[in-house]
Structure 1
């Protein structure tokens, strides 16, 4: 009679478990389950826990009531509505639901949007599995705050997927939708420069921008329509003065307190210049002909838009983390063990930084005040910057 060794039994069980959690339907179920659990936690925690959802929800009624979208409404929620006026209309399906139902469906929508965006990417199934699991905790952080960032992240990935498939019309629409949520979502439109049919893409982008910008018009009339855009512009200008967030500027302000606010803002301008130089260099050198290099450009856009975003906060990092994962897939063959080390560092000190993995005292007294979450992502962006400027045409 043969005897199975404990080691073989454990290996067999581990393989079965790994196979189980590698199934797409199982991962999808986990994404749905996480959304439901977060929804229950937020609902039990009271309105303060789902305050952002209430801000989004009430924006539709403020729009229909022709009041300033960007004022404080302390009887309804705290903080301000900082989003594009068209977002009120896009969010209407969730606004018109009862609060509890709308909140749950909003969280499900955010999670499923990111899940299917990852699914759409031209990656091997093994890489998609890694992507789904690696970003899950960051997604959890974002939806705990009822934020729009998973949707913006998903729109960026879907834009890339559609450009890879040559579907210009829809690839032009998605960054415009992202822009009509938060302005920085438009960054993913910059990828069109590395694909054919650039003129067609620009025409479709202008068309979609006009269509999306006019969304509120039928509901408010021409007079108030112009006013909501004036109010939005004023809000965006004022918001830029508030802080420097979990960004490169935030790090500089922390590490070099002698810097004036104007000096720190110049760093943001430098970031814009770096982005432009990187894109122009890539075009001039024609270093975008391989899919691997285009993945690096997608990673750069995802990381850059958070690293140099004055309004970056922990929930926005789902966009940066997707950039890290994409960078890892495109770099691990060339960087080898260094890519492994950096991606582990991102997971330990960026993804896990705001979670209960670390004691509350660590989070509140060290990780948070010292912007530790920013540093690993910044290092990846820094490495990626040099990669893109040193690429050779293949």
Structure 2
């Protein structure tokens, strides 16, 4: 048993597992036909729509179902995969998602055994996201990299990662809020503005100045329309389940309340100077990772790879202080959040109970609540 544990605790072994899993999922979906890798096709075709100066965010039913909801710059960032044959591009995209997560965790200032726990704990949730070819693993990983580079005092790179996340999906920018707990805040803001300018204008040479403004108008319109119809795997979704009278107009009210709570949490931490220890800063990273999903009206099951990284971090730095309740919560997250969409539960359970009642959301919501209490009760060290 010790040899088995030691073998699967090796970094290279875990890396190989991540790569193999990505390849297997890629092959499985490619051979299942375009309907099995629809999200990849949405990402892939965005470059060609950009080159044609077409509206990125309208429907193209002859090519794929659903809409492209991403930042215009993402078309350029994804172009290396768009220019490859579908079979190769799909597999390389999934491998890239896994590798970014793997190396982001590796970059964290954690003990080796903590990294091993993190890699294995998040793997099933990563697989769920890979099955949907989603960008969420990369967005979450960019948050981890933001933290790592802030800890290393590499300000210009720490400023880049949240902007990159924003240029995929806007909510990734939340990780930039971590800079307030580090020195050189002025430099961070300046580099952030620089990266935002560079990445924001990345599509300009492709579409020209005449179409550039329209590109962002179309994106903004898409975001507004998307906000009107979603409750998501979120706090708003839970409220909708418990109170069917909850309307889409109420979503914004809850999100504004969540934003205010986030600001108050950050302000309290700053005023109390509760960010001096790396343990507390890790808890703030966990809070941001959970908060951005709990208050995300567009959150899906596959988005939860970001929330689960928050849970993993929370557990690593709370299991001793909150024993045994931390273990209870981590088991609830594993069995009712991570395993919720998997075949461990019968299809009828998932279809009739787990999905309609947003069971996946509840354990992560409980962890977020506990973490919120911790951040307001922690004493400066």
Q: Give the CA deviation at 1:264.
A: 3.8
Q: In the alignment, which residue of structure 1 is the partner of 2:312?
A: 325
Match of 1:108 among 70, 82, 95: 95
| 1:305-362 per-position Cα deviation (integer Å, ceiling 9, x unaligned) | 0000000001100000000000111111211111111011100000000001111111
Q: In the alignment, which residue of structure 1 is the partner of 2:134?
A: 147
Q: In the alignment, which residue of structure 1 is the partner of 2:354?
A: 367
Runs (4+) of structure 1 exceeding 2 A deviation are 258-265
- 1:61 equivalent to 2:48? Answer yes
Looking at structure 2, the residues matched to 242 and 261 of structure 1 have their Cα atoms a distance apart, in angstroms, of 7
- Provide TM-score, normalisation by structure 1: 0.96
Q: Give the CA deviation at 1:242.
A: 1.3
Match of 1:237 among 224, 227, 231: 224
Looking at structure 1, the residues matched to 61 and 246 of structure 2 have their Cα atoms a distance apart, in angstroms, of 35
Q: Give the CA deviation at 1:262.
A: 2.3
Looking at structure 2, the residues matched to 222 and 355 of structure 1 have their Cα atoms a distance apart, in angstroms, of 47
- C-alpha contact (below 8 Å) 1:72/1:78 kept by paired residues: yes
SS at match of 1:278: helix
Q: In the alignment, which residue of structure 1 is the partner of 2:275?
A: 288
Looking at structure 2, the residues matched to 204 and 343 of structure 1 have their Cα atoms a distance apart, in angstroms, of 37
1:256-275 → structure 2 map (5 Å cutoff) = 256-275=243-262
Q: Give the CA deviation at 1:391.
A: 1.4
- C-alpha contact (below 8 Å) 2:274/2:280 kept by paired residues: yes
Looking at structure 2, the residues matched to 259 and 370 of structure 1 have their Cα atoms a distance apart, in angstroms, of 15
Looking at structure 2, the residues matched to 352 and 45 of structure 1 have their Cα atoms a distance apart, in angstroms, of 23
Q: In the alignment, which residue of structure 1 is the partner of 2:173?
A: 186
1:340-355 → structure 2 map (5 Å cutoff) = 340-355=327-342
Q: Give the CA deviation at 1:25.
A: 0.7
Looking at structure 2, the residues matched to 194 and 377 of structure 1 have their Cα atoms a distance apart, in angstroms, of 25
**5+ residue gaps, structure 2:** none
Looking at structure 1, the residues matched to 10 and 45 of structure 2 have their Cα atoms a distance apart, in angstroms, of 39
- Find the structure with the greater CA-based Rg: 1
Q: In the alignment, which residue of structure 2 is the partner of 1:9?
A: none
How well do the aligned residues superpose, as a CA RMSD in angstroms?
0.7
Q: Give the CA deviation at 1:229.
A: 0.2
Q: Give the CA deviation at 1:263.
A: 2.8
Looking at structure 1, the residues matched to 251 and 201 of structure 2 have their Cα atoms a distance apart, in angstroms, of 36
Match of 2:24 among 19, 24, 37: 37
**5+ residue gaps, structure 1:** 1-13
Q: In the alignment, which residue of structure 1 is the partner of 2:73?
A: 86
1:306-325 → structure 2 map (5 Å cutoff) = 306-325=293-312
- 1:173 equivalent to 2:167? Answer no
- C-alpha contact (below 8 Å) 2:230/2:248 kept by paired residues: no
Q: How many residues are paired up?
A: 381
1:115-126 → structure 2 map (5 Å cutoff) = 115-126=102-113
Looking at structure 2, the residues matched to 88 and 148 of structure 1 have their Cα atoms a distance apart, in angstroms, of 13
- C-alpha contact (below 8 Å) 1:249/1:265 kept by paired residues: no
Q: Give the CA deviation at 1:267.
A: 1.3
Looking at structure 1, the residues matched to 108 and 85 of structure 2 have their Cα atoms a distance apart, in angstroms, of 35
- 1:209 equivalent to 2:196? Answer yes
In structure 2, do the counterparts of structure 1 residues 169 and 266 end up closer, same or farther at CA, with 3 Å as the change threshold?
same
- C-alpha contact (below 8 Å) 2:234/2:295 kept by paired residues: yes
- 1:224 equivalent to 2:220? Answer no
- C-alpha contact (below 8 Å) 1:32/1:111 kept by paired residues: yes
Q: Give the CA deviation at 1:268.
A: 1.4
- 1:132 equivalent to 2:116? Answer no
Match of 1:195 among 158, 169, 182: 182
- Provide TM-score, normalisation by structure 2: 0.99
Q: In the alignment, which residue of structure 2 is the partner of 1:248?
A: 235
Looking at structure 1, the residues matched to 329 and 213 of structure 2 have their Cα atoms a distance apart, in angstroms, of 47
Looking at structure 2, the residues matched to 335 and 22 of structure 1 have their Cα atoms a distance apart, in angstroms, of 26
- C-alpha contact (below 8 Å) 1:252/1:264 kept by paired residues: no
